[in-house]
Amino acid sequence: MKELDKEVKVKVKRFSEEKGTWWQEYTVKVDKYTQMTEVLKRIKEEQDPTLSYRASCHMAVCGSCGMRINGAPRLACRTIALEEVDRTGSDTIVVEPMDGYPVLKDLVVDLTDFYNRMYKVKPRLHPSEDVLKGKSEHRLKPEDQSRLWKFAQCIWCGLCVSSCPAVRIDVEFLGPAAHAKGYRFLSDPRDTSFEERAKVLIDSAWRCTYCYMCYEVCPRDIEPVEAIKLTRTYTTKFGPTGDASSFGERHSKAVEESIAETGMLQGGKVYVKTYGLVNSLISMIELMKDGKATKLIMERQKKVRGIDELRKLLGEKQ
């Protein structure tokens, strides 16, 4: 077993309102077990008490210690210092505050925007009156429990939102964590405010770009994008609730039709059906510039074999 202590350099992006931004380097002795929260604690207690960061549980359940470590959005307590050294091949570990939130001091960011997103989805169960008064009791199937628990384990760390491109450009988008939370209640059989929740969630769900960043970074394996996909499936039932979802629903209808016709996704056709011919032509011109659209328009699909079977499975749309 290798117990040897090793010295690593930790380069921290510092900030204070008084002094602005600067980089500071520390040297810390670590062994193969040392978590990044411990590294920061040693710096603070032994070298530089002015360094500010958040940390509480040191076991990845409280969500305090989100930051960027060697460029990646991570929980510091879930990051072993020497594993970073192995991964990057460099003895220097670069630590920065989470992206996308205003920095208050050093690694401490202002999460107000994150919390507000969470409150927008009314993150609490609305049980029936009878249950609340103790007149009756919930039963919940074990499989529902485990399905819901997957999405309920969010620790509000903010990492997914900090790495979500859609949140940056689309003010109407609730963001990954809020969607995971929202879906967790939307699909809880014990909840009573189904329609109200659907109204808040459906349109926003169509604003996600499916880039899977949230899936990558979430330390609790919540897979918010999966919650978003599942929320989209509610569109047919409730109908579109805004711009994004009406485009979105037309989009998925077009996808379905394209598959039904040829057994393949015909990009060009789907695009035209979703956005209408005129809109499509406008964006095609934009796309031509990088050659993408040519491919979209040009490809003419042959039917794949077994398409007739597939049609049956899809319910044979006329």
Partner 1 sequence: MEKLNYDVVVVGGGLAGLMTAHEVASAGFRVAVLSKVFPTRSHSACAEGGIAAYMDGNSDPSDSPEFMVYDTVKGGDYLVDQDAAEILSYKSGEIVRLLESWGALFNRQPDGRVALRYFGGQTYPRTRFVGDKTGMALLHTIYERVSGLNVDFFSEWFTLDLLVTDRRVTGVVAMEMKSMSPATFGAKAVVLATGGNGMLYQHTTNSYINTGDGYAMALRAGAALKDPEFVQFHPTALYPSDILISEAARGEGGILKNNKGERFMTKYAPMKLDLAPRDVVSRAILTEVAEGRGFPGGYVQLDLTHLGEKYIKERLALAVEAGRNFAGVDPVKEPLPVRPAQHYYMGGVDVDVSGANPDLPGLFAAGEAACVSVHGANRLGSNSLLETLVFGRETGQAVVKFLENSKEVRDAPNPEKVVDDAYSFVKRESGVHFGEVMKELRKTMWEDVGVFRDEERLKRAVSKVTELRKTAVNMYVTDRSKTYNTEFFNALELRNMLDQAVVIATTALNRTESRGAHYRLDFPKRDDKQWLKHTLAYLRGNTVEITYKPVKITKWMPEERVY
Binding site for ligand SF4 (CB under 6 A): 154-160, 164-166, 176-177, 180, 208-214, 217-218, 220, 222, 224-225, 228
Residue 23 or 119 having the CB closest to partner 1? 119
Which of ligand SF4, ligand FES, partner 1, none interacts with 44 (beta carbon under 5 to 8 A by kind)?
partner 1
Which of residues 12, 80, 217, 227 is near partner 1 by CB under 8 A?
80
Taking alpha carbons only, the member of 129, 144, 157 closest to residue 184 is 144
Which of residues 52, 88, 193, 252 is near partner 1 by CB under 8 A?
52
- Cβ(10)–Cβ(30) under 8 Å? no
Residue 88, exposed/middle/buried by CB under 10 A (0-12, 13-18, 19+)?
A: middle
Residue 125 or 255 having the CB closest to partner 1? 125
Taking alpha carbons only, the member of 211, 213, 252 closest to residue 231 is 252
Phi first, then psi, for residue 287 (nearest 5°) are -70, -30
Q: How many residues bind ligand FES (CB under 6 A)?
A: 12
3-state secondary structure of 182: helix
| Least CB distance to ligand FES at residue 101 (A) | 16
3-state secondary structure of 141: coil
| Least CB distance to ligand FES at residue 11 (A) | 20
Which of ligand SF4, ligand FES, partner 1, none interacts with 10 (beta carbon under 5 to 8 A by kind)?
none
Write out the two tokens for 284: 């095609």
| Least CB distance to ligand SF4 at residue 93 (A) | 21
Which of ligand FES, ligand SF4, partner 1, none interacts with 145 (beta carbon under 5 to 8 A by kind)?
partner 1
User: CA-CA distance, 111 to 100, in Å (whole number)?
Assistant: 10
Q: Could you tell me which stretch among 151-159, 284-292, 299-307, 309-317 binds partner 1 (CB under 8 A)?
A: 151-159
Tell me the sheet residues that pair with 93.
10
Assess 56 for contact with ligand FES (CB under 6 A). Answer: yes
| Least CB distance to partner 1 at residue 184 (A) | 9
Residues comprising the chain, all counted: 318
Work out the number of other CB atoms within 10 angstroms of the CB of residue 309: 10
Which of residues 12, 63, 148, 245 is near ligand FES by CB under 6 A?
63
Write out the two tokens for 146: 């485990």
User: CA-CA distance, 210 to 164, in Å (whole number)?
Assistant: 10
Binding residues for ligand FES, rule: CB under 6 A, are 37, 55-58, 60, 62-65, 75, 77
